[in-house]
């Protein structure tokens, strides 16, 4: 898989220099995660590139986010925790499928790059982006909202622990404040 470098996405760093994508990637072995499923997204680019370059991580590119929930459930049945990485619009696609880990008490770990928040320039991203936290709460998914890039990896580790302890889905929502807003120019 090759993600496209997007100059319109700001770096994934805090003022303290923290690269959240690299930090989450580095946390995977300690969490026992060797499988990452994704519908690629520029906001997740650095994380996905690192996963793709590591032979110990199996990066699975999906055609739709629902497949990621099924993959995470199957991976758990095989004895391992997987992560599913998606953009917030993908959360709207997995609503029905999130019933599977809920009913079967299977941990499901989501890493979500948020859209539709501050400075969003694409109006199509706003409705679902705004709905994601309430939607996840209504579905019984524990959501973690780190306030800085350096807080993403600890939130991811906490979400993984919560998912395993409760046998439910948990999500880390990485805000546009952390990722940066995509800008659109003429011709895009």
Q: What is the pLDDT of residues 134-164, one digit of tens each?
A: 999 999 999 999 999 999 999 999 999 999 9
Find all residues with CB under 8 Å of 63, minimum gap 6, and list them. 39
Q: Would you place residue 17 in the very low, low, confident or very high pLDDT band (cuts 50, 70, 90)?
A: low
pLDDT (tens digit per residue) in 95-126:
999 999 999 999 999 999 999 887 788 888 88
pLDDT (tens digit per residue) in 46-82:
999 999 999 999 999 999 999 999 999 999 999 999 9
Q: Coil, helix or strand for 120?
A: coil
- Is residue 153 within 8 Å of 23, Cβ to Cβ? yes
Residue % of the chain over a pLDDT of 90:
75
Q: Would you place residue 7 in the very low, low, confident or very high pLDDT band (cuts 50, 70, 90)?
A: very low
Q: Looking at residues 39-44, what average pLDDT do you find?
A: 92
Token pair belonging to 82:
């997987």
Q: Coil, helix or strand for 170?
A: strand
Handedness of CA 26, 145, 97, 67 (dihedral sign): negative
| pLDDT surpasses 50 at 186 | no
Torsion of CA 64, 6, 27, 14, to 10 degrees: -130
């Amino acid at each position: 898989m090759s993600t496209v470098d997007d100059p319109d996405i700001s770096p994934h760093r805090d003022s303290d220099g923290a690269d959240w994508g690299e930090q989450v990637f580095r946390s995977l072995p300690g969490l026992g995660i060797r499988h990452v499923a994704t519908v690629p997204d520029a906001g997740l680019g650095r994380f996905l590139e690192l996963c793709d370059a590591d032979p110990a991580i199996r990066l699975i590119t999906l055609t739709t986010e629902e497949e990621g929930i099924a993959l995470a459930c199957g991976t758990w049945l095989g004895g391992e925790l997987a992560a599913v990485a998606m953009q917030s619009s993908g959360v709207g696609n997995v609503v029905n499928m999130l019933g599977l880990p809920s009913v079967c008490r299977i941990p499901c770990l989501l890493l979500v790059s948020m859209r539709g928040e501050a400075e969003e320039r694409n109006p199509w991203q706003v409705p679902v982006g705004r709905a994601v936290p309430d939607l996840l709460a209504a579905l019984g998914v524990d959501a973690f909202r780190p306030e800085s890039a350096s807080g993403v990896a600890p939130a991811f580790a906490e979400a993984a622990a919560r998912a395993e302890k409760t046998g439910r889905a948990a999500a880390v929502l990485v805000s546009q404040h952390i990722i940066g807003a995509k800008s659109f120019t003429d011709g895009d």
